[in-house]
């Protein structure tokens, strides 16, 4: 399951990458994945700390592992059942966002648009029965925020909004 969700997250990033010049939250332009923290203050502890993400999703989470790749800051949290991930991507326009949505559909996820939720948004689910992974992805301005976890869509939507507000 972890491999499939990681591949899905990577597909979203690759499909939606743009040549934008806006840095990830906090101004970093670090190249390549890293788990040592982002330069210039862009980090999970600042933008998506476990004590904000966990309660919003109704999960008990450990501190996140952090990865920076170009315009993307990814925060992966330990515990909580199904993999829990928050991702911030800068420089995302409407076309790039649509490409990420299409990549999710092409990967076999059930995708539904979320009208009237930020500038653009969709929810994507994988799995059935007891193991369901839900992602809520929204774009506001040039910032895309996604929350992927075993929590319900309503909780994920609330967290996405809170994270966008924290970033503003």
Domain containing 84 — which CATH number? Answer: 3.40.1000
Mean per-residue pLDDT, 4-12: 40
When divided into structural domains, the chain yields a total of 1
Q: Is the dihedral of CA 43, 32, 35, 144 positive or negative?
A: positive
117 confidence band (pLDDT: 50, 70, 90)? very high
Residue 58 clears pLDDT 80, i.e. is over it: yes
Residue 54 clears pLDDT 60, i.e. is over it: yes
Contact 99, 91 (CB under 8 A): no
- Three state DSSP letters for the chain: CHHHHHHHHHHHHHHHCCCCCCCCCCCCCCCCCCCCCCHHHCCHHHHCCHHHHHHHHCCCCCCEEEEEECCEEEEEECCCCCCEEEEEECCCCHHHHHHHHHHHHHCCCEEEECCCCCCEEEEEEEEECCEEEEEEEEEECCEEEEEEECCCHHHHHHHHHHHHHHHC
Please, what is the average pLDDT of the chain? 80
In which domain, by residue range, is 10 found?
Answer: 2-167
Task: Indicate yes or no: pTM above 0.85.
Answer: no
pLDDT cut 90: percent of the chain above it: 64
Q: What is the pLDDT of residues 15-27, one digit of tens each?
A: 343 333 333 343 3
What's the pLDDT score for residue 82? 72
């Amino acid at each position: 399951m972890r491999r499939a969700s990681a591949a899905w997250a990577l597909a979203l990033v690759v499909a939606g990458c743009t040549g934008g010049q806006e840095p990830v939250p906090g101004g970093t332009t670090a190249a390549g994945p890293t788990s040592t923290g982002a330069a210039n203050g862009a980090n999970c502890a600042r933008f998506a700390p476990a004590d904000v993400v966990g309660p919003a999703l109704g999960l008990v989470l450990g501190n996140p592992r952090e990865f920076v790749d170009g315009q993307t800051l990814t925060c992966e949290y330990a515990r909580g059942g199904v993999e829990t991930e928050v991702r911030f991507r800068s420089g995302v326009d409407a076309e790039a966002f649509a490409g990420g949505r299409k990549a999710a559909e092409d990967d076999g996820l059930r995708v539904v648009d979320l009208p009237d939720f930020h500038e653009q948004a969709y929810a994507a689910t994988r799995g059935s029965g007891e193991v369901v992974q839900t992602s809520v992805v929204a774009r506001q301005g040039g910032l895309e925020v996604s929350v992927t976890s075993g929590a319900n869509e309503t909780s994920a939507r609330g967290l996405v909004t809170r994270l966008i507000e924290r970033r503003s």
